[in-house]
A and B are shown apart, each in its own frame.
Chain A
Amino acid sequence: MTAVHPARSAPGTVRLDPPYDWRAALLVLVAGFLLLLSGQRVQLDRFVALSGEAILAQLGFVEGSQVGRGLGRMVQSLFPVAVEERREVTRIADLDRDKLPAFARIERIETTRFELDRTTMALVPIVESKEYLVEPFGYLFRVFGKMVETIEIALWATILSVLLSAPIAVLAAANYTPHRALYYAARGLVSFLRAIPELVSALFLVLAFGFGPIAGILALGLHAAGFLGKFYAEDIEAADKKPQEALRALGASKLRVLRSAVLPQVAPAYVAYTLYILDRNVRMATVVGLVGAGGIGQELKGRYDLFEYDHVGTILVVIFATVFLLDQISARLRARLL
């Protein structure tokens, strides 16, 4: 189709055609038309209208917008975020008033409620007092704890995926697989693992292993094993053949050649893939928590269902800070290892 190579038109003459012709132009037109059709199906026209309205409202041309109001409400309910933990004392089982947790205090709050007196038919004020145990940074610490659990889930999921995908990758590399059948089996397994979204497998794994981190680790680890298996295998296949041949000629077995001639070549890329998977697992671990697979996602879902949006705000801020921090760390690690 695109003929940049010399083509012979008449004997003895060579000409260079331009890199595109009318067929390329037609292809672009058809693709554009299909995208327009598809855009309408996914309501992109509505999206453009709504965001246009929001921008006009911001500039003061029109009075308020649907998107602006929605976002405003959300931001108002998320902020200020919840930092303290406040619990009713009567609901805490064995509270030792002389040995409160660090920085904690007990607050007495009196509320006045009016009740109708049946005989006098007058509203009578009733004063109720409730005691609360207030931990000033209690909720923040709780969220930190959940975040640490999330990172632990992501870390173990990454370890699991590396351990699983390393042998799969050897079987799935055409030049190192011991048998054709094993090669196809490994390729199939890798595609299968990658095809199941973490959230879906987490749903089922929660049924099998109950609520908590096990389901999260397995869901994330299996999916990532599919990803790593494919990429590890492709790098093995693409590694420079010359040193492999040299070690083979010296009588080294396949596995020894793999270790000494292939592994050093592919190691930098493997580190990069694995760090990416760790990063992705931290983010996905918060998502699979939504279906009960442990970590901060589980906490997020609970608060969201109780309409405690200030707590949701705390969780979102902590997630953002963690992802940002991990990004910095992995960038440093990459720079040092490569």
Chain B
Amino acid sequence: MTLEVDHSPRVETPLLQFVEVAKTFADGTRALAGVTFAVPRAQFCVLLGPSGSGKSTLLRCVNGLVEPDRGTVRFDGLRLERRSLPSIRRRVAMVHQHFNLVERLPVGTNILTGALARVPAWRAYLHWFPRELRDKACALALRVGLEPHHLRRRVSELSGGQQQRVGIARAFLCDPDLLLADEPVASLDPATARDILELLREAARERATTVLCSLHQPELAHRFADRVLGLRSGRIVFDGPPERLDEAALARIYGDGLAAARLELAA
């Protein structure tokens, strides 16, 4: 793995690169213990690992919500640091486990907040978004499976699955190059979870968006991933296509929890 700036043409640089990234929290918890991997463009890459294995921390290192204390993160060849963070954040969107929507705002406005960093200040403060953006938000809302009458409703009046659809629409509003999804379906029932992941994968495919999505159920990883990264105690212990996710691999990822994982795989 080379550490120099990569000057080769854009298509050949992986979109995202982690080199020996480590993070220990102030209370001494080691969440990442030196993680190295690269994600090429347009890949649907699933981060699989038990709860507490460091998936959220890894994803949050990409958009600067967590600052690694060792190693480098490169986005499109650009090293992530304080200076480059604003421009990187505009190209990276995130879908959250708990949706993280503004519950008292209507669905439409929530989708439009995805463009908050891209409109002039007066528009941002008055929530007076330009016509093209509003039209795009409407089209996206329909694309993610919301009904037109949902647009004016408060988010708090929607079901969990519908709220996550809003979260996905917000993430896609500004056509991100990379979509981070942190257990996007962990708060949803299994049928809704499959629908939402299906939507996420299709929407990403239409736009050739790269996705890095964390999951804790091998069954879902198996079904939706182009590639699986297995994480355990802050280390990558598996890297390969989902077909290679056999019992030995699951044992490496889940350890003692293997029995539970197997049950889920059978389900």
Are B117 and A245 in contact, CB atoms less than 8 angstroms apart? no
**Any B CB within 8 A of the CB of A31:** no
Contacts A242-B98, A251-B89, A260-B127 aside, 16 further interface pairs with beta carbons under 8 A come to: A242-B99, A243-B103, A245-B96, A245-B100, A246-B101, A250-B93, A250-B94, A250-B113, A250-B114, A251-B90, A252-B117, A256-B116, A256-B125, A261-B102, A264-B104, A267-B104
Per-residue contact bits, chain B 164-189, to A (CB 8 Å; 1 contact, 0 not):
00010010001000000000000000
Interface residues on A, range: 20 to 34
Q: In the complex, which residue of chain A has the Cβ closest to the Cβ of B173?
A: A250
Are B86 and A251 in contact, CB atoms less than 8 angstroms apart? yes
Are A250 and B100 in contact, CB atoms less than 8 angstroms apart? no
A156 to B120, CA, bound (A): 32
Are A242 and B125 in contact, CB atoms less than 8 angstroms apart? no
**Any B CB within 8 A of the CB of A259:** yes
Per-residue contact bits, chain A 236-264, to B (CB 8 Å; 1 contact, 0 not):
00001011011111111101110111001
**Any A CB within 8 A of the CB of B124:** yes
Q: Which residues of B contact A330 (CB under 8 A)?
A: none
Q: Which residues of B contact A77 (CB under 8 A)?
A: none
**Any A CB within 8 A of the CB of B63:** yes
The 9 lowest CB-CB distance pairs between A and B, nearest first, are A251-B89, A251-B117, A246-B100, A242-B100, A252-B116, A264-B104, A243-B102, A251-B90, A252-B117
Are A252 and B124 in contact, CB atoms less than 8 angstroms apart? yes
Report whether over half of chain A's contact residues are helix, strand or loop; otherwise say mixed. Answer: helix
Report whether over half of chain B's contact residues are helix, strand or loop; otherwise say mixed. Answer: loop
Find residues 140-180 in chain B having any chain A CB closer than 8 Å to their own CB.
167, 170, 174
A72 CB, min distance to chain B CBs, angstroms: 55
**Any B CB within 8 A of the CB of A265:** yes
A319 CB, min distance to chain B CBs, angstroms: 37
Q: Which residues of A contact B101 (CB under 8 A)?
A: 243, 246
The contact of A260 among B89, B100, B113, B174, by CB within 8 Å, is B113
Q: Which residues of B contact A249 (CB under 8 A)?
A: 63-65, 89, 92-94
Q: In the complex, which residue of chain B has the Cβ closest to the Cβ of A268?
A: B104
